[in-house]
Chains A and B, each alone.
Chain A
Amino acid sequence: MTRNLKTALFSTLLLLLVSYPILGLKLSVIGIGLQVEGADARTLWTIGLAAVALFTWQLLRDRLPGAGRLAAMAPSMPGQVKHWLTLPSTQRWIILALILVALAWPFFGSRAAVDIATLILIYVMLGLGLNIVVGLAGLLDLGYVGFYAVGAYTYALLAEYAGFGFWLSLPIAGLTAATFGCLLGFPVLRLRGDYLAIVTLGFGEIIRILLRNLTDITGGPNGISQIPKPTLFGLSFDRRAPEGLQTFHEYFGIAYNSSYKVIFLYLIALLLVLLALFVINRLMRMPIGRAWEALREDEIACRSLGLSPTIVKLSAFTIGATFAGFAGSFFAARQGLVTPESFTFIESAMILAIVVLGGMGSQLGIIFAAVVMVMLQEMRECNEYRMLIFGLTMIVMMIWRPQGLLPMQRPHLELKP
């Protein structure tokens, strides 16, 4: 009992020290000086109640029925999850059903719903690309948004200076991002996992800082605007076509409707996602995909079996970057405007959160997580708490379910000792 009392007092003291000075005292600018104000009564009550709750729980944790079970359940690392939802065959069927829903979506959903769905698809694409690097190859890439930025700026610059259209720029953007991935990846992939994370983070930041400061080329903080929208075999979706082009509604002789453009963009995004899904699915069954996963599990064993870790990692890095490049150029086309501030570390963290939340390596999980994340982002009322929830989710997921919400179970054999 005294031991519990000590722990209870200690943890309550910690809670108060951690919460009161930052949450309970607010620096505010009054005139030219600063003043400290107390926070509102609700915050103080919350802190107080949390302290009392923590104290009681720590004091009585041995006595409470069920408390021991709760404690035993919480901090353990769960092993392999076995569930019919995680079987590859089930997941394949669910993905097929989802694709059907996605195809029907624009004809039933409202314009806003289609727009949000397009955003979801962008994140699905980014998540699938990062999944190759993080989920399959086990390389933590915190600068993934850098390749996204490269893709977006490739299209923006090509449209601005060379007058290239979207369809011509899309493969170029993918190639440019892949080149960047290869060039940046080559030197750093010899590094161990956690160093790699920080170095990629540095690369992402360098790309953003360069985009912001090379004002003559990239327009600096203002970015590049008026990027042309994609066309359907030369048919524009604007009300009036620029010189030499025909508009979609004139060609088919139907009335102009601005939602055609939204639906068209959505369908392009869907096409890109389907392409990504297909290519990645094929790659995973190819020797290179097996090598990625083998490398993630045991690098030394891979080396001794004659795989070159650098080449394998580099291929994962490059292919991941390519998808980011595609997503980036689509993003530029959809927004019509790119600025360096769209490509901050937070964006990288959000894509990573999608991969982690969904279950590393699982494509269905990523689709699911992208939907959740974008919905969370779109909800206006919890907008300011969004990032707070992101951070918390990442911690809780790592403690409670490091394999993600919907992991994919691979058929495997185990030797019983």
Chain B
Amino acid sequence: MPELYHYLQQLVNGLTIGSTYALIAIGYTMVYGIIGMINFAHGEVYMIGSYIAFIAITLLAMAGIDSLLPIMFVAFAASMIVTSAYGYSIERVAYRPLRGGNRLIPLISAIGMSIFLQNMVMLAQDSKDKAIPNPLPGNFVLGESTMNGVTISYMQVLIFVVTFLAMLGLSLFISRSRLGRACRACAEDLRMANLLGINTNQIIALTFVIGAALAAVAGVLLGMQYGVINPHLGFLAGIKAFTAAVLGGIGSIPGAVLGGLLLGVAEALGADLFGDQYKDVVAFSLLILVLLFRPTGILGRPEVEKV
């Protein structure tokens, strides 16, 4: 049985990481669904979310607060508020003036924004790795022993629970609330929604804010899970989350979740088969394969090109 347990373990690890990819991927997919652009700077927003969480946790530790609940609450709240501000400002400064032109122009602007943010953090916080101890240590074992069973850490449980709650909140918001309905209308047809009296600028800004806040949740969770951050981690996380979004079908929120989970599992199994250093190659190859054989992704709708 150790064989089976080994793969189950990889599955659990993959799903954990995958669920955070899904959170970041939602930001890509929502923005793409409405204005059809790839927000290349989204990975940096995730990285900034991690930094804010680390700063908040360290400040609390310096003030002598070390119980779990306030730490978690403050870390999530601070990081979500700050990244929301980032999401809004990025859209306002770098993308809104470019709307409606050639598709490549906002993309280049987004790449510029990504380079800018990464280097801003590097200058302000220096590029060394920063580490904090795991705020939620410990684990439990399903099965007989660590060798012959599946080990799940409390941190992984936390990741599952928080991700699930965030997605539940998002889907309720999108399906039930007035603003959520406006979001869906904009994704359907931006100009028509505008004609029907929806403030589309506001809705576009809102999707950036929601995406940024969810990326912050992922940033806090992954920051605590790995315990180490540096200014470069946004780039790779951003690409992987984008892969997840494409895998599930860009524009579709359930697709992003599915894609994230699949990518996480594929990466964990790939690292197991080919070695850890090829983990990223697995993700990139998966992206290329999906785009080759099913460019619309698993749940995506085929896009009709209009003349």
Among B86, B112, B295, which residue has its beta carbon within 8 angstroms of that of A392?
B112
Which 8 pairs from chain A and chain B are nearest by CB? Answer: A394-B112, A391-B116, A391-B115, A17-B85, A202-B284, A398-B109, A75-B97, A395-B112
Cβ–Cβ contact B112 & A391, under 8 A: yes
Query: Contacts A17-B81, A18-B86 known; A395 to B52 CB distance under 8 Å?
Result: no
- The residue among A23, A35, A395 with the most chain B CB atoms within 10 A of its own CB is A395
CB proximity to A under 8 Å, residues B204-252: 235, 239, 242-243, 246
Chain B residues positioned under 8 Å from A34 (CB to CB): 54, 58, 130-132
Cβ–Cβ contact B116 & A395, under 8 A: yes
Chain A residues positioned under 8 Å from B113 (CB to CB): 391, 395
Cβ–Cβ contact A398 & B116, under 8 A: no
Cβ–Cβ contact B103 & A398, under 8 A: no
CA distance A186 to B119 in the complex (A): 35
Cβ–Cβ contact A193 & B103, under 8 A: yes
Interface membership of A77, Cβ < 8 A: yes
Interface size class of A (residues with CB under 8 A): 35 or more
- The residue among A33, A142, A202, A206 with the most chain B CB atoms within 10 A of its own CB is A202
Interface membership of B157, Cβ < 8 A: no
Known contacts A34-B130, A352-B111, A394-B109; 14 further A-B pairs (Cβ under 8 A): A21-B82, A27-B125, A34-B54, A134-B104, A188-B291, A197-B104, A203-B288, A388-B120, A390-B112, A393-B112, A394-B111, A394-B112, A395-B112, A399-B94
Nearest CB of chain B from residue A24's CB, rounded to whole Å: 8
Interface membership of B153, Cβ < 8 A: no
Interface membership of A195, Cβ < 8 A: yes
CA distance A352 to B109 in the complex (A): 12
Pairs A–B under 8 Å by Cβ, sample size 27: A15-B89, A18-B85, A22-B120, A23-B120, A27-B55, A34-B131, A39-B124, A75-B97, A138-B104, A142-B111, A188-B292, A193-B104, A195-B295, A197-B104, A198-B287, A203-B284, A300-B305, A346-B115, A352-B108, A387-B118, A388-B116, A388-B119, A394-B109, A395-B109, A395-B116, A399-B98, A402-B102
Chain A residues positioned under 8 Å from B103 (CB to CB): 193-194
Nearest CB of chain B from residue A303's CB, rounded to whole Å: 10
Chain B residues positioned under 8 Å from A209 (CB to CB): 277-278, 280-281
CB proximity to A under 8 Å, residues B261-288: 277-278, 280-281, 284-285, 287-288
Among A387, A390, A398, which residue has its beta carbon within 8 angstroms of that of B98?
A398
Chain A minimum-CB-distance residue to B120: A388
Nearest CB of chain A from residue B229's CB, rounded to whole Å: 9
Interface membership of B74, Cβ < 8 A: no
Query: Contacts A213-B277, A213-B278, A399-B98 known; A390 to B115 CB distance under 8 Å?
Result: yes
Interface membership of A191, Cβ < 8 A: yes
- The residue among B116, B246, B305 with the most chain A CB atoms within 10 A of its own CB is B116
CA distance A21 to B54 in the complex (A): 11
CB proximity to B under 8 Å, residues A15-42: 15, 17-18, 21-23, 25-27, 29, 33-36, 39
Chain B residues positioned under 8 Å from A13 (CB to CB): 85
Give a binary string over A211-246; 1 marks a CB under 8 Å from any B CB, 0 the rest. Answer: 011000000000000000000000000000000000
Interface membership of A60, Cβ < 8 A: no
Interface membership of A381, Cβ < 8 A: no
Nearest CB of chain B from residue A44's CB, rounded to whole Å: 12
Nearest CB of chain B from residue A93's CB, rounded to whole Å: 30
CA distance A361 to B212 in the complex (A): 35
Interface membership of A384, Cβ < 8 A: yes
Chain A residues positioned under 8 Å from B81 (CB to CB): 17
Interface membership of A341, Cβ < 8 A: no
CA distance A206 to B284 in the complex (A): 7
Chain A residues positioned under 8 Å from B61 (CB to CB): 33
Interface size class of B (residues with CB under 8 A): 35 or more
Interface membership of A376, Cβ < 8 A: no
Interface membership of B21, Cβ < 8 A: no
Interface membership of B105, Cβ < 8 A: yes
Chain A minimum-CB-distance residue to B88: A14
Interface membership of B78, Cβ < 8 A: yes
Give a binary string over B30-57; 1 marks a CB under 8 Å from any A CB, 0 the rest. Answer: 0000000110000000001001101100
Cβ–Cβ contact B93 & A199, under 8 A: no
Which residue numbers of B lie inside 8 Å of A, CB to CB?
37-38, 48, 51-52, 54-55, 58-59, 61-62, 78, 81-82, 85-86, 88-89, 93-94, 96-98, 101-109, 111-121, 123-125, 128, 130-132, 235, 239, 242-243, 246, 277-278, 280-281, 284-285, 287-288, 291-292, 295, 305, 307
Chain B residues positioned under 8 Å from A393 (CB to CB): 112
Chain B minimum-CB-distance residue to A350: B115
CA distance A249 to B94 in the complex (A): 56
Nearest CB of chain B from residue A12's CB, rounded to whole Å: 12
Nearest CB of chain B from residue A80's CB, rounded to whole Å: 14
Chain B residues positioned under 8 Å from A394 (CB to CB): 108-109, 111-112, 115
Query: Contacts A388-B123, A394-B109, A398-B112 known; A77 to B37 CB distance under 8 Å?
Result: no
Chain A residues positioned under 8 Å from B281 (CB to CB): 206, 209-210
Cβ–Cβ contact B97 & A199, under 8 A: no
CA distance A201 to B278 in the complex (A): 16
Nearest CB of chain B from residue A154's CB, rounded to whole Å: 21
Interface membership of A187, Cβ < 8 A: yes
Among A18, A43, A345, which residue has its beta carbon within 8 angstroms of that of B89?
A18
Nearest CB of chain A from residue B254's CB, rounded to whole Å: 20
Cβ–Cβ contact A21 & B239, under 8 A: no
Cβ–Cβ contact A26 & B59, under 8 A: no
CA distance A35 to B57 in the complex (A): 10
Chain A residues positioned under 8 Å from B54 (CB to CB): 27, 34
Cβ–Cβ contact A36 & B58, under 8 A: yes
